[in-house]
Structure 1
Amino acid sequence: MVTAQISSSSEHDGINETQVVLNVYDLTPVNSYTYWFGFGIFHSGIEVHGKEYGFGAHDFPVSGVFEVEPRSCPGFIYRASILLGRINMPPSEFRTFIECSASEYHGDTYNLISKNCNHFTDDIAWRLTGKHIPGWVNRLARLGALCGCLLPESLQATTVKQLPEYHDCTEDGSESLSTATPRESTEMDDNDQEKLLVTSSAGTGEVAFVREATK
Protein backbone atom coordinates (compact mmCIF):
# COMPACT_ATOMS: atom_id res chain seq x y z
CA MET A 1 0.00 0.00 0.00
CA VAL A 2 1.33 3.41 -1.00
CA THR A 3 0.80 6.21 1.50
CA ALA A 4 1.39 9.82 0.56
CA GLN A 5 4.10 11.60 2.51
CA ILE A 6 2.54 15.03 3.09
CA SER A 7 4.94 17.86 3.86
CA SER A 8 4.11 20.48 6.48
CA SER A 9 2.88 23.88 5.29
CA SER A 10 5.76 25.62 7.07
CA GLU A 11 8.22 23.64 4.94
CA HIS A 12 6.85 24.92 1.64
CA ASP A 13 5.16 28.14 2.84
CA GLY A 14 1.94 27.08 1.11
CA ILE A 15 3.48 27.21 -2.38
CA ASN A 16 2.56 23.60 -3.05
CA GLU A 17 -0.74 23.62 -1.19
CA THR A 18 -3.64 22.23 -3.17
CA GLN A 19 -7.21 21.14 -2.59
CA VAL A 20 -8.25 17.51 -2.70
CA VAL A 21 -11.69 17.49 -4.33
CA LEU A 22 -14.07 14.63 -5.07
CA ASN A 23 -15.94 15.15 -8.36
CA VAL A 24 -19.10 13.05 -8.60
CA TYR A 25 -20.92 12.09 -11.81
CA ASP A 26 -24.22 10.40 -12.63
CA LEU A 27 -23.97 7.21 -14.65
CA THR A 28 -27.68 7.42 -15.48
CA PRO A 29 -30.34 10.19 -15.63
CA VAL A 30 -32.42 8.05 -13.24
CA ASN A 31 -30.16 9.38 -10.48
CA SER A 32 -32.09 12.65 -10.64
CA TYR A 33 -34.98 10.82 -8.99
CA THR A 34 -33.18 8.27 -6.77
CA TYR A 35 -30.50 10.69 -5.46
CA TRP A 36 -32.94 12.24 -2.98
CA PHE A 37 -33.50 8.82 -1.45
CA GLY A 38 -29.79 8.33 -0.93
CA PHE A 39 -29.45 5.90 -3.81
CA GLY A 40 -27.90 6.11 -7.26
CA ILE A 41 -25.20 4.88 -9.63
CA PHE A 42 -22.22 7.21 -9.54
CA HIS A 43 -18.73 7.63 -10.97
CA SER A 44 -16.18 9.70 -9.07
CA GLY A 45 -12.73 11.17 -9.63
CA ILE A 46 -10.16 12.83 -7.35
CA GLU A 47 -9.02 16.33 -8.34
CA VAL A 48 -5.50 17.37 -7.24
CA HIS A 49 -3.23 20.07 -8.69
CA GLY A 50 -5.73 20.95 -11.42
CA LYS A 51 -6.18 17.41 -12.79
CA GLU A 52 -8.75 14.73 -12.07
CA TYR A 53 -7.87 11.05 -11.61
CA GLY A 54 -10.22 8.09 -11.91
CA PHE A 55 -10.13 4.33 -12.35
CA GLY A 56 -11.61 2.45 -15.30
CA ALA A 57 -11.68 -1.02 -16.83
CA HIS A 58 -9.77 -2.50 -19.75
CA ASP A 59 -8.58 -6.00 -20.58
CA PHE A 60 -4.87 -5.61 -19.80
CA PRO A 61 -2.77 -6.17 -16.63
CA VAL A 62 -1.54 -2.58 -16.55
CA SER A 63 -2.70 0.69 -15.00
CA GLY A 64 -6.39 1.53 -15.23
CA VAL A 65 -5.90 4.91 -13.55
CA PHE A 66 -6.63 7.76 -15.95
CA GLU A 67 -6.37 11.54 -16.02
CA VAL A 68 -8.89 14.09 -17.33
CA GLU A 69 -9.69 17.76 -16.99
CA PRO A 70 -11.67 18.35 -13.76
CA ARG A 71 -15.44 17.89 -13.91
CA SER A 72 -15.34 16.84 -17.58
CA CYS A 73 -14.96 13.05 -17.58
CA PRO A 74 -16.48 11.96 -20.91
CA GLY A 75 -19.42 9.61 -20.86
CA PHE A 76 -20.69 10.74 -17.47
CA ILE A 77 -22.98 13.55 -16.23
CA TYR A 78 -21.25 15.88 -13.75
CA ARG A 79 -23.25 16.26 -10.52
CA ALA A 80 -21.21 17.85 -7.72
CA SER A 81 -17.80 18.57 -6.20
CA ILE A 82 -16.98 17.86 -2.56
CA LEU A 83 -13.94 19.39 -0.85
CA LEU A 84 -12.19 16.66 1.15
CA GLY A 85 -9.27 18.72 2.44
CA ARG A 86 -6.01 20.43 1.54
CA ILE A 87 -2.47 19.05 1.31
CA ASN A 88 1.02 20.44 0.83
CA MET A 89 2.65 18.33 -1.84
CA PRO A 90 4.68 19.40 -4.90
CA PRO A 91 3.15 18.31 -8.23
CA SER A 92 6.17 16.10 -8.93
CA GLU A 93 5.77 14.33 -5.59
CA PHE A 94 2.07 13.83 -6.21
CA ARG A 95 2.83 12.43 -9.66
CA THR A 96 5.10 9.82 -8.10
CA PHE A 97 2.38 9.00 -5.58
CA ILE A 98 -0.35 8.52 -8.21
CA GLU A 99 1.93 6.44 -10.45
CA CYS A 100 2.77 4.16 -7.51
CA SER A 101 -0.94 3.90 -6.67
CA ALA A 102 -1.70 3.02 -10.30
CA SER A 103 0.31 -0.20 -9.90
CA GLU A 104 -2.41 -1.39 -7.50
CA TYR A 105 -5.26 -0.57 -9.89
CA HIS A 106 -4.85 -2.52 -13.12
CA GLY A 107 -7.64 -2.23 -15.67
CA ASP A 108 -8.28 -5.97 -15.75
CA THR A 109 -8.95 -6.02 -11.98
CA TYR A 110 -11.88 -3.57 -12.18
CA ASN A 111 -15.05 -4.93 -10.59
CA LEU A 112 -18.22 -2.92 -10.13
CA ILE A 113 -18.91 -4.49 -6.73
CA SER A 114 -15.50 -4.98 -5.13
CA LYS A 115 -13.05 -2.66 -6.93
CA ASN A 116 -14.63 0.17 -8.86
CA CYS A 117 -13.90 3.85 -9.49
CA ASN A 118 -15.36 4.85 -6.12
CA HIS A 119 -13.21 2.35 -4.24
CA PHE A 120 -10.23 4.00 -5.95
CA THR A 121 -11.20 7.56 -5.01
CA ASP A 122 -11.98 6.49 -1.44
CA ASP A 123 -8.55 4.87 -1.14
CA ILE A 124 -6.71 7.88 -2.60
CA ALA A 125 -8.71 10.32 -0.44
CA TRP A 126 -7.83 8.34 2.69
CA ARG A 127 -4.12 8.21 1.84
CA LEU A 128 -3.98 11.95 1.11
CA THR A 129 -6.29 13.44 3.73
CA GLY A 130 -7.21 10.70 6.21
CA LYS A 131 -10.86 11.12 5.17
CA HIS A 132 -13.18 8.77 3.29
CA ILE A 133 -15.55 9.81 0.51
CA PRO A 134 -19.26 10.15 1.46
CA GLY A 135 -20.95 6.77 1.85
CA TRP A 136 -23.76 7.51 -0.61
CA VAL A 137 -21.30 7.73 -3.53
CA ASN A 138 -20.58 3.98 -3.44
CA ARG A 139 -23.71 2.67 -1.74
CA LEU A 140 -24.73 0.62 -4.78
CA ALA A 141 -21.54 -1.45 -4.57
CA ARG A 142 -22.11 -2.21 -0.88
CA LEU A 143 -25.69 -3.28 -1.55
CA GLY A 144 -24.58 -5.30 -4.55
CA ALA A 145 -22.02 -7.12 -2.43
CA LEU A 146 -24.86 -8.27 -0.18
CA CYS A 147 -27.15 -9.15 -3.05
CA GLY A 148 -25.40 -9.88 -6.36
CA CYS A 149 -28.73 -10.20 -8.13
CA LEU A 150 -29.35 -6.50 -7.53
CA LEU A 151 -27.25 -5.59 -10.56
CA PRO A 152 -27.72 -6.77 -14.14
CA GLU A 153 -25.04 -9.23 -15.23
CA SER A 154 -23.89 -6.83 -17.94
CA LEU A 155 -23.02 -4.25 -15.28
CA GLN A 156 -21.30 -6.71 -12.97
CA ALA A 157 -18.81 -7.82 -15.63
CA THR A 158 -18.20 -4.67 -17.66
CA THR A 159 -14.73 -4.45 -19.23
CA VAL A 160 -13.28 -2.96 -22.38
CA LYS A 161 -10.98 -4.37 -25.04
CA GLN A 162 -8.82 -1.35 -25.60
CA LEU A 163 -5.13 -0.51 -25.59
CA PRO A 164 -4.60 2.07 -22.83
CA GLU A 165 -2.77 5.27 -23.74
CA TYR A 166 -0.43 6.68 -21.10
CA HIS A 167 1.08 10.00 -20.11
CA ASP A 168 4.88 9.92 -20.24
CA CYS A 169 6.61 12.75 -18.36
CA THR A 170 9.74 13.99 -20.12
CA GLU A 171 12.74 15.62 -18.45
CA ASP A 172 11.44 19.12 -19.17
CA GLY A 173 8.14 18.33 -17.45
CA SER A 174 6.08 18.09 -20.64
CA GLU A 175 3.97 15.04 -21.35
CA SER A 176 3.57 12.80 -24.37
CA LEU A 177 1.32 9.85 -25.07
CA SER A 178 2.50 6.29 -25.47
CA THR A 179 0.67 3.02 -25.91
CA ALA A 180 1.09 -0.08 -23.78
CA THR A 181 1.67 -3.40 -25.46
CA PRO A 182 -0.78 -6.04 -24.20
CA ARG A 183 -0.11 -9.75 -24.02
CA GLU A 184 -2.35 -10.25 -27.00
CA SER A 185 -3.99 -7.68 -29.28
CA THR A 186 -7.75 -7.89 -29.74
CA GLU A 187 -10.23 -6.03 -31.92
CA MET A 188 -13.46 -4.54 -30.68
CA ASP A 189 -16.76 -5.51 -32.23
CA ASP A 190 -19.99 -3.50 -31.90
CA ASN A 191 -20.94 -5.18 -28.62
CA ASP A 192 -17.54 -4.45 -27.08
CA GLN A 193 -17.81 -0.77 -28.00
CA GLU A 194 -21.03 -0.52 -26.04
CA LYS A 195 -19.15 -1.65 -22.92
CA LEU A 196 -16.57 1.17 -22.96
CA LEU A 197 -16.08 2.76 -19.53
CA VAL A 198 -13.33 5.11 -20.66
CA THR A 199 -11.92 5.98 -24.09
CA SER A 200 -8.74 7.72 -25.16
CA SER A 201 -10.81 10.68 -26.33
CA ALA A 202 -14.55 11.29 -26.26
CA GLY A 203 -16.73 14.35 -26.50
CA THR A 204 -14.84 17.46 -25.38
CA GLY A 205 -12.74 15.63 -22.78
CA GLU A 206 -9.34 14.05 -23.29
CA VAL A 207 -8.60 10.88 -21.34
CA ALA A 208 -5.14 9.35 -20.86
CA PHE A 209 -4.18 6.51 -18.56
CA VAL A 210 -1.46 7.13 -15.98
CA ARG A 211 1.56 4.89 -16.45
CA GLU A 212 2.29 2.97 -13.25
CA ALA A 213 5.63 3.37 -11.52
CA THR A 214 8.24 0.80 -12.43
CA LYS A 215 9.38 -1.42 -9.58
Structure 2
Amino acid sequence: MEPETTSNSVSEGNGNDKNCETQVVLNVYDLTPLNNYTVWFGLGIFHSGIEVHGKEYGFGAHDFPASGVFEVEPRSCPGFIYRSSVSLGRITMLPSEFRTFIENAASEYHGDTYHLISKNCNHFTDDISWRLTGKHIPGWVNRLARLGSLCSCLLPESLQVSTVKQLPEYHDCSEEDGTECLSTTTARESTEIDDDHEKSLLSPMAVSGDVAFVKEVQK
Protein backbone atom coordinates (compact mmCIF):
# COMPACT_ATOMS: atom_id res chain seq x y z
CA MET A 1 0.00 0.00 0.00
CA GLU A 2 1.06 3.59 -0.53
CA PRO A 3 2.45 4.94 2.74
CA GLU A 4 0.58 8.22 2.34
CA THR A 5 -3.16 8.70 1.99
CA THR A 6 -4.15 10.31 -1.26
CA SER A 7 -7.38 12.12 -1.86
CA ASN A 8 -9.61 11.94 -4.87
CA SER A 9 -8.96 14.44 -7.63
CA VAL A 10 -9.01 18.00 -6.37
CA SER A 11 -9.09 20.90 -8.75
CA GLU A 12 -9.64 24.51 -8.00
CA GLY A 13 -8.69 27.55 -9.92
CA ASN A 14 -10.04 30.94 -10.81
CA GLY A 15 -8.55 33.38 -13.30
CA ASN A 16 -10.19 36.29 -11.49
CA ASP A 17 -7.59 38.19 -9.48
CA LYS A 18 -10.25 39.05 -6.92
CA ASN A 19 -10.20 35.46 -5.75
CA CYS A 20 -6.53 34.92 -4.92
CA GLU A 21 -6.94 31.93 -2.62
CA THR A 22 -6.28 28.59 -4.27
CA GLN A 23 -5.51 25.01 -3.40
CA VAL A 24 -2.12 23.48 -4.17
CA VAL A 25 -2.54 19.91 -5.40
CA LEU A 26 -0.04 17.23 -6.35
CA ASN A 27 -1.26 15.12 -9.27
CA VAL A 28 0.51 11.76 -9.51
CA TYR A 29 0.77 9.55 -12.60
CA ASP A 30 2.00 6.03 -13.29
CA LEU A 31 4.90 5.78 -15.71
CA THR A 32 4.48 2.03 -15.99
CA PRO A 33 1.70 -0.52 -15.36
CA LEU A 34 4.16 -2.34 -13.08
CA ASN A 35 3.28 0.25 -10.44
CA ASN A 36 0.07 -1.68 -9.81
CA TYR A 37 2.24 -4.42 -8.31
CA THR A 38 5.24 -2.59 -6.88
CA VAL A 39 3.15 0.04 -5.08
CA TRP A 40 2.20 -2.63 -2.52
CA PHE A 41 5.86 -2.66 -1.51
CA GLY A 42 6.06 1.13 -1.27
CA LEU A 43 7.84 1.46 -4.64
CA GLY A 44 6.85 2.77 -8.02
CA ILE A 45 7.93 4.94 -10.94
CA PHE A 46 5.83 8.08 -10.93
CA HIS A 47 5.49 11.41 -12.69
CA SER A 48 3.96 14.29 -10.76
CA GLY A 49 2.73 17.79 -11.48
CA ILE A 50 1.71 20.71 -9.26
CA GLU A 51 -1.78 22.10 -9.80
CA VAL A 52 -2.33 25.77 -8.92
CA HIS A 53 -5.11 28.10 -10.11
CA GLY A 54 -6.59 25.43 -12.35
CA LYS A 55 -3.41 24.57 -14.27
CA GLU A 56 -0.82 21.83 -13.74
CA TYR A 57 2.93 22.40 -13.98
CA GLY A 58 5.61 19.78 -14.51
CA PHE A 59 9.27 19.48 -15.50
CA GLY A 60 10.73 17.55 -18.41
CA ALA A 61 13.90 17.08 -20.41
CA HIS A 62 15.22 18.55 -23.63
CA ASP A 63 18.72 19.28 -24.92
CA PHE A 64 18.78 23.06 -24.49
CA PRO A 65 19.58 25.55 -21.68
CA ALA A 66 16.00 26.84 -21.59
CA SER A 67 12.92 26.22 -19.48
CA GLY A 68 11.85 22.61 -19.11
CA VAL A 69 8.80 23.61 -17.07
CA PHE A 70 5.54 23.00 -18.91
CA GLU A 71 1.82 23.50 -18.38
CA VAL A 72 -1.00 21.03 -19.01
CA GLU A 73 -4.62 20.63 -18.04
CA PRO A 74 -4.88 19.10 -14.55
CA ARG A 75 -4.70 15.30 -14.40
CA SER A 76 -4.16 15.16 -18.17
CA CYS A 77 -0.40 14.98 -18.69
CA PRO A 78 0.05 13.22 -22.05
CA GLY A 79 1.67 9.82 -22.12
CA PHE A 80 1.01 8.91 -18.49
CA ILE A 81 -1.79 7.29 -16.51
CA TYR A 82 -3.34 9.47 -13.82
CA ARG A 83 -3.26 7.73 -10.44
CA SER A 84 -4.32 10.11 -7.66
CA SER A 85 -4.14 13.59 -6.21
CA VAL A 86 -2.79 14.82 -2.90
CA SER A 87 -3.92 18.10 -1.37
CA LEU A 88 -0.87 20.02 -0.15
CA GLY A 89 -2.69 22.99 1.34
CA ARG A 90 -4.03 26.40 0.39
CA ILE A 91 -2.19 29.58 -0.49
CA THR A 92 -3.17 33.19 -1.04
CA MET A 93 -1.57 34.30 -4.29
CA LEU A 94 -2.99 36.14 -7.28
CA PRO A 95 -2.80 34.27 -10.58
CA SER A 96 -0.51 37.01 -11.91
CA GLU A 97 1.74 36.63 -8.86
CA PHE A 98 1.89 32.89 -9.36
CA ARG A 99 2.78 33.41 -13.03
CA THR A 100 5.77 35.49 -11.96
CA PHE A 101 6.70 32.86 -9.39
CA ILE A 102 6.60 29.92 -11.83
CA GLU A 103 8.50 31.85 -14.51
CA ASN A 104 11.25 32.57 -12.00
CA ALA A 105 11.31 28.90 -11.00
CA ALA A 106 11.55 27.90 -14.67
CA SER A 107 14.92 29.65 -14.90
CA GLU A 108 16.23 27.08 -12.39
CA TYR A 109 14.82 24.08 -14.25
CA HIS A 110 16.31 23.99 -17.74
CA GLY A 111 15.50 21.00 -19.89
CA ASP A 112 19.14 20.04 -20.30
CA THR A 113 19.54 19.67 -16.52
CA TYR A 114 16.87 16.98 -16.17
CA HIS A 115 18.17 13.75 -14.65
CA LEU A 116 16.09 10.74 -13.67
CA ILE A 117 17.85 10.29 -10.32
CA SER A 118 19.09 13.71 -9.22
CA LYS A 119 16.72 16.26 -10.82
CA ASN A 120 13.49 14.83 -12.13
CA CYS A 121 9.86 15.92 -12.29
CA ASN A 122 9.26 14.89 -8.68
CA HIS A 123 12.20 16.93 -7.42
CA PHE A 124 10.58 19.87 -9.18
CA THR A 125 7.15 19.38 -7.60
CA ASP A 126 8.71 18.85 -4.19
CA ASP A 127 10.65 22.11 -4.51
CA ILE A 128 7.61 24.07 -5.70
CA SER A 129 5.44 22.59 -2.95
CA TRP A 130 8.00 23.54 -0.30
CA ARG A 131 8.26 27.11 -1.59
CA LEU A 132 4.50 27.59 -1.75
CA THR A 133 3.24 25.70 1.30
CA GLY A 134 6.24 24.75 3.43
CA LYS A 135 5.35 21.09 2.87
CA HIS A 136 7.18 18.35 0.97
CA ILE A 137 5.41 15.95 -1.36
CA PRO A 138 4.78 12.42 0.01
CA GLY A 139 7.98 10.40 0.18
CA TRP A 140 6.65 7.46 -1.85
CA VAL A 141 6.32 9.60 -5.00
CA ASN A 142 10.09 9.92 -5.49
CA ARG A 143 11.38 7.05 -3.35
CA LEU A 144 12.85 5.15 -6.30
CA ALA A 145 15.07 8.11 -7.23
CA ARG A 146 16.33 8.37 -3.65
CA LEU A 147 17.16 4.68 -3.64
CA GLY A 148 18.82 5.06 -7.03
CA SER A 149 21.05 7.85 -5.74
CA LEU A 150 22.51 5.42 -3.22
CA CYS A 151 23.68 3.10 -5.98
CA SER A 152 24.07 5.51 -8.92
CA CYS A 153 27.28 3.79 -9.94
CA LEU A 154 25.17 0.81 -11.01
CA LEU A 155 22.91 2.84 -13.29
CA PRO A 156 23.44 2.82 -17.07
CA GLU A 157 24.67 6.00 -18.72
CA SER A 158 21.54 6.04 -20.88
CA LEU A 159 19.56 7.28 -17.90
CA GLN A 160 21.28 10.64 -18.29
CA VAL A 161 20.16 11.07 -21.90
CA SER A 162 17.42 13.65 -22.43
CA THR A 163 14.72 12.88 -24.95
CA VAL A 164 13.33 16.06 -26.48
CA LYS A 165 15.31 17.31 -29.44
CA GLN A 166 13.46 20.51 -30.29
CA LEU A 167 14.13 23.84 -28.63
CA PRO A 168 10.97 25.21 -26.95
CA GLU A 169 9.59 28.30 -28.64
CA TYR A 170 7.60 31.06 -26.98
CA HIS A 171 5.23 33.66 -28.39
CA ASP A 172 4.16 36.85 -26.66
CA CYS A 173 0.49 37.72 -26.44
CA SER A 174 -1.69 39.78 -24.16
CA GLU A 175 -4.17 38.48 -21.64
CA GLU A 176 -6.64 40.31 -19.44
CA ASP A 177 -4.40 40.11 -16.39
CA GLY A 178 -1.33 41.20 -18.33
CA THR A 179 0.50 37.88 -18.08
CA GLU A 180 2.35 36.27 -20.94
CA CYS A 181 0.75 33.44 -22.86
CA LEU A 182 2.36 30.05 -23.03
CA SER A 183 3.43 28.78 -26.39
CA THR A 184 3.35 25.29 -27.77
CA THR A 185 5.95 23.27 -29.58
CA THR A 186 6.09 19.69 -30.70
CA ALA A 187 8.39 17.46 -28.70
CA ARG A 188 10.40 15.06 -30.84
CA GLU A 189 11.89 11.94 -29.40
CA SER A 190 15.58 11.13 -29.54
CA THR A 191 16.80 8.12 -31.47
CA GLU A 192 19.68 7.59 -29.06
CA ILE A 193 17.70 5.00 -27.10
CA ASP A 194 15.89 2.37 -29.13
CA ASP A 195 13.57 1.04 -26.46
CA ASP A 196 10.37 3.12 -26.33
CA HIS A 197 9.57 2.05 -22.79
CA GLU A 198 12.96 3.17 -21.52
CA LYS A 199 12.44 6.53 -23.19
CA SER A 200 9.19 7.01 -21.31
CA LEU A 201 11.00 6.55 -18.01
CA LEU A 202 13.53 9.27 -18.75
CA SER A 203 11.26 12.24 -19.00
CA PRO A 204 7.63 13.26 -19.12
CA MET A 205 8.47 15.08 -22.34
CA ALA A 206 9.13 11.84 -24.26
CA VAL A 207 5.70 11.96 -25.83
CA SER A 208 4.36 13.15 -29.14
CA GLY A 209 2.02 16.11 -29.41
CA ASP A 210 2.03 19.73 -28.32
CA VAL A 211 3.62 20.78 -25.03
CA ALA A 212 3.08 24.21 -23.49
CA PHE A 213 6.32 25.47 -21.96
CA VAL A 214 6.54 28.21 -19.36
CA LYS A 215 8.79 31.03 -20.49
CA GLU A 216 11.44 31.70 -17.87
CA VAL A 217 12.33 35.12 -16.53
CA GLN A 218 15.52 36.34 -18.17
CA LYS A 219 18.17 37.23 -15.59
- Pick the TM interval, shorter chain: 0.7 to 0.9
Structure 1 partner of 2:4? none
Partner SS, residue 118 of structure 1: helix
The CA distance in 1 between the partners of 2:207 and 2:35, in whole Å, is 26
Is residue 88–residue 133 contact of structure 2 (8 Å, CA) maintained in 1? yes
Partner SS, residue 104 of structure 2: helix
Structure 1 partner of 2:5? none
Is 2:65 the partner of 1:61?
Answer: yes
Structure 2 partner of 1:183? none
Structure 2 partner of 1:93? 97
The CA distance in 2 between the partners of 1:171 and 1:49, in whole Å, is 16
Structure 1 partner of 2:21? 17
- For residues 22-37 of structure 1, what are the structure 2 equivalents within 5 Å? 22-37=26-41
The Cα offsets for residues 67-101 of structure 1, whole Å up to 9 and x where unpaired, read as 00000000111100000000010000000000000
Is residue 17–residue 86 contact of structure 1 (8 Å, CA) maintained in 2? yes
- The amino acid of 1:42's aligned partner reads F
- For residues 39-188 of structure 1, what are the structure 2 equivalents within 5 Å? 39-148=43-152, 151-166=155-170, 168-170=172-174, 172=176, 173=178, 175=181, 177=183
Q: CA deviation at 1:161?
A: 1.1
The CA distance in 2 between the partners of 1:161 and 1:192, in whole Å, is 13
- Percent identity between the two aligned chains: 76
- For residues 199-214 of structure 1, what are the structure 2 equivalents within 5 Å? 202=209, 206-214=210-218
- Which structure 1 segments of 5+ residues have no match? 1-13, 180-186
Q: Which has the higher strand share?
A: 1
Is residue 168–residue 211 contact of structure 1 (8 Å, CA) maintained in 2? no
The CA distance in 2 between the partners of 1:30 and 1:144, in whole Å, is 18
Q: CA deviation at 1:150?
A: 5.6
131-140 or 156-165, larger mean C-alpha shift: 156-165
- The amino acid of 2:86's aligned partner reads I
Partner SS, residue 145 of structure 1: helix
Q: CA deviation at 1:200?
A: 8.4
- The amino acid of 1:30's aligned partner reads L
Figure out how many residues of one structure are paired with residues of the other and give that number.
193
The CA distance in 2 between the partners of 1:30 and 1:80, in whole Å, is 16
The Cα offsets for residues 21-56 of structure 1, whole Å up to 9 and x where unpaired, read as 000001100001001110010000000000000000
Q: CA deviation at 1:164?
A: 1.4
Q: CA deviation at 1:15?
A: 2.0
Q: What is the TM-score normalised by the length of structure 2?
A: 0.78
Q: What is the TM-score normalised by the length of structure 1?
A: 0.80
The CA distance in 1 between the partners of 2:171 and 2:136, in whole Å, is 27
The CA distance in 2 between the partners of 1:38 and 1:167, in whole Å, is 42
